[in-house]
Structure 1
Amino acid sequence: MTTLRLVIFDCDGTLVDSQRTIIGAMNSSFTQLGLPSPTDDAIRRVVGLSLHESMVRLHPGGSDVEHQELIAGYRSAFFEMRSAPDHEEPLYPGVVAVLDHIEQEGILAGVATGKSMRGLKATLARHAIHDRFITLQTADQNRGKPHPAMVQRAMEEAGVEPDNTMVVGDTTYDIEMGRAAGAYAVGVSWGYHPVDELHTAGAHAVINAFGELNGALARFMALE
């Protein structure tokens, strides 16, 4: 039987439904530079990557200066949208219940995200779940997904080995990151990448609602 000691969650598209804000801020950043906006689907495809890698993929012919200007414009627009009185960026249904269950089982929780540390802390604080996580890993302090650095650093901070770690995320970048770190990788179907791509990337399991994660935890614990 395997002991699960740490669950590392992605943020956008896994814990938090931030699609409207991300797409709006990305469109604003391109418009400010007089560039054609990427399609919504193209934007969804890069969620989870670092901002620099996202801009390189969305504007492949651009210079480094343009990419930096796009990043600055995105951050400014994102902050403005997030500060609006009517801003909505809800948790997905079942998040708090799952965090409660994990805590009751004595399992540690962490986050690994393409967001900045400032953005991640603001998001978690808004939903009053910041203190539920023992380790926070962001793309501005580590190599971005799908490189395993964020998972490796999270495990180091938690004092946990790969065999005792689960990564939960909605994109192939999350699955590839988890697998590369030697962790058990669980995909979620409600985020930005299709289920078949999560399986192809190597997901050990894919769940359709947060309530199903408890079953995935039990299956993990039953592994030899």
Structure 2
Amino acid sequence: MKLVLFDCDGTLVDSAALIHETMRRTFAQFGKPEPTVEATKSIIGLTLDIAIASMQGKPHADDEAVEMMAYYKSLFATVRADLDYREPLFEGIREVIDTIGPREDLLLGAVTGKSRRGLNSVLDTHDFRKWFIVSRTADDCPSKPHPAMVSECCDETGMRPEDTLVIGDAIYDMQMAKAAGATAIGVAWGYASIAELKAAGADVIVNHPRELLSHIG
């Protein structure tokens, strides 16, 4: 039996355009310089207030970052409603989830910097909720790379970290997995480079979702 924990943004769905547009509008509202796409991609995976502070070079989330986070959250659904900013699955992800979801020797879950509402929206939109039996979000745990998301999923399912795979596209996913004692699988189709994922501790890098099947076993 294995526990397979997926990151969401940059791993299951391509949400960079949606996140960046919402971030761009948020920074404009607060009179901040418009962030670059690269800057936005670099913080995807972090809890939102920490991400916003980091984009401004702040060492931690201050009151302004919390205020900006609240504004970002108020905009997100509006921006998502625009057909130009949907969160599509990466090519090949559906086939992987539909293959491993029904297996009795695997438990699937999600560990994400999204809110609970945001994760549920993705799972419901793509009909994945039936397979994902455990999850932790930014509403539940400290921000990645803290290991709590993985550790709590292990505790809830009764699985050991050494029998757990964490699949993600960000350095924070790799660092979180290693801190929890789980196997870190980096995906090359997301927002961090292969070199960054390796430096962050990835045990293996996959270039296409179908390659996950051989590593999951």
TM-score, normalising length from structure 2?
Answer: 0.94
- For 2:178 and 2:24, how far apart are their aligned partners in 1? 32
Conserved 8 A contact 1:28-1:73: no
Aligned to 2:216: 217
Match of 1:19 in 2: 16
Asked whether the equivalents of residues 10 and 112 of structure 1 are also in contact (C-alpha less than 8 Å), the reply is yes
Corresponding residue number in structure 1 for 2:136: 137
- Matched AA of 2:119: L
Report the Cα offset of residue 87 of structure 1. 4.2
Alignment of 1:39 with 2:36, yes or no, is yes
Higher mean Cα deviation, 74-83 or 45-54? 74-83
Aligned to 1:77: 75
For the 8 Å contact 2:102–2:131, the answer to whether it is kept is no
Match for 1:33: what amino acid?
F
CA contact (8 A) 1:186 1:207 kept: yes
Counterpart residue identity of residue 67, structure 2 = E
Question: Structure 2: how far apart are the matches of 1:86 and 1:63?
Answer: 30
Q: TM-score under structure 1 normalisation?
A: 0.91
Task: Please give the alpha-carbon distance, in whole angstroms, between the structure 2 residues aligned to 1:103 and 1:17.
Answer: 20
Deviations 1:87-120 (Å, cap 9, x if unpaired)? 4211111222212222343201000000010111
**How many angstroms apart in 1 are the aligned matches of 2:57 and 2:91?**
36
CA RMSD of aligned residues (A): 1.6
Distance 2:196 2:152 in 1: 26
Question: How much does 1:86 deviate?
Answer: 5.2
Q: Indicate the residue corresponding to 1:68 in structure 2.
A: 66
Deviates more, 1:123-132 or 1:99-108: 99-108
CA apart distance, 1:75: 1.2
Q: Give the match's secondary structure for 2:165.
A: strand
SS of equivalent residue, structure 1 residue 206: strand
Size of the aligned set, in residue pairs, is: 215
Flag structure 1 segments of 5+ consecutive residues without an equivalent.
Answer: 219-224
Q: Distance in 2 between matches of 1:215 and 1:63?
A: 40
Distance in 2 (alpha carbons) for counterparts of 1:66 and 1:87: 26
Post-superposition Cα deviations, 1:107-150, rounded to whole Å, max 9, x if no partner, equal 01000000010111112111111121010110121011000000
The CA deviation at 1:216 is 1.3
User: 2: distance between equivalents of 1:94 and 1:41?
Assistant: 24
Give the distance between the partners of 2:74 and 2:216, measured in 1 at CA: 39
What is residue 118 of structure 2 aligned with on the other side?
119
Q: Quick check: 1:92 aligned with 2:90? A: yes
- Counterpart of 1:68, as a letter, is V
Q: Relative to structure 2, which stretch is displaced further, 57-66 or 153-162?
A: 57-66
